[in-house]
Amino acid sequence: MKQYHDLVRNVLENGVRKENRTGTDTISNFSEFYKVDLSEGFPLLTTKKVFFKSVVMELLWYLRGENHIRWLRDENNVHIWDAWAEEDGHVGPIYPVLWRKFPYFEKETVCFEGNGSALNKEVWVRKEFDQVQRAIDMLKDNPNSRRIVVSAWHPGLLSEMALPPCHIMYIFNVQNGKLNCHLTQRSGDIALGIPFNMACYSALTMAIAQEVGLEPGTFAHTIVDAHIYVNHVDGLKEQLKREPKELPTLKIANKPVDELAFEDFTLENYDPDPVIKFEVAV
């Protein structure tokens, strides 16, 4: 896909070498951006094989609202989050929790009884908020809203997370009957993470568009720290020698997103070049 190749070239040519927490330096560039028209095909890279099952299963896991990876790892043999999980699979309140059970506090009046009397008192009660369902409801009720935002960043919970969220916010925007999605990412591993992010959020946009009666529009993506690990450079240079092919087609069963299973996603005409192996920096 040309947009991805342009991103790789720009960071290789204009990025600066930086140290980071993993111990493996990166070539990093500030604030990269690209967008893809989803009517032109599903943006799953063709110049290397991207494992479609893992992309879809990760998306479905995000929608489950869990703070562990047991469904991914133990039930479905998908191991893309193993490096960050505890032995029991716990990863803390990251994407699934923040998407579906975002914690907040609200005042409620509680009646305290004792010694033959009752006292009403206002107290702060912890609650959970389903951001995905709110976005779907808003797209149905007020599609012209500019406030259809899902946030995966909660500063107060960072210490409880296995990995602070990299893709921190996405916004839906409707234009001419088409559903567009803009993803903001604070940090992006171009070789390994970005191909997954691009495909995952495009699939999410397509599924939600179908549920709310819209056509898929554009997926746009801003990456604040767009980086290439130095041990990924040779593999990406090899990938740049390959010619992008026609994008595949993704068909999704016409169901609410909460009812979707892997079998409801059908990928057609995907003919990628061979896998290029990149080490994960943890």
Active site residues: 166
Tokens found for residue 179? 């559903």
- Contact (CB, 8 A) for 146 and 131: no
Pairing type for strands 215-229 and 178-189 reads parallel
- Spatial contact of 154 and 102, defined as CB atoms under 8 Å apart: yes
CB 44 within 8 A of CB 50: yes
Strand ranges (DSSP E) for the chain?
Answer: 16-18, 26-37, 102-114, 117-129, 149-151, 167-175, 178-189, 215-229, 249-252, 265-268
Distance CA 100, CA 221 (A): 22
Q: Name the residue among 69, 186, 208, 197 with its Cα closest to residue 132.
A: 208
Distance separating alpha carbons of residues 67 and 83, to the nearest angstrom: 15
DSSP string for 235-268 = HHHHHHTSPP----EEEE-SS-GGG--GGGEEEE
Rg (CA), the chain: 21
Q: Where do we find the tokens 């240079």?
A: 237
Residue owning tokens 């990093």: 28
3-state secondary structure of 68: strand
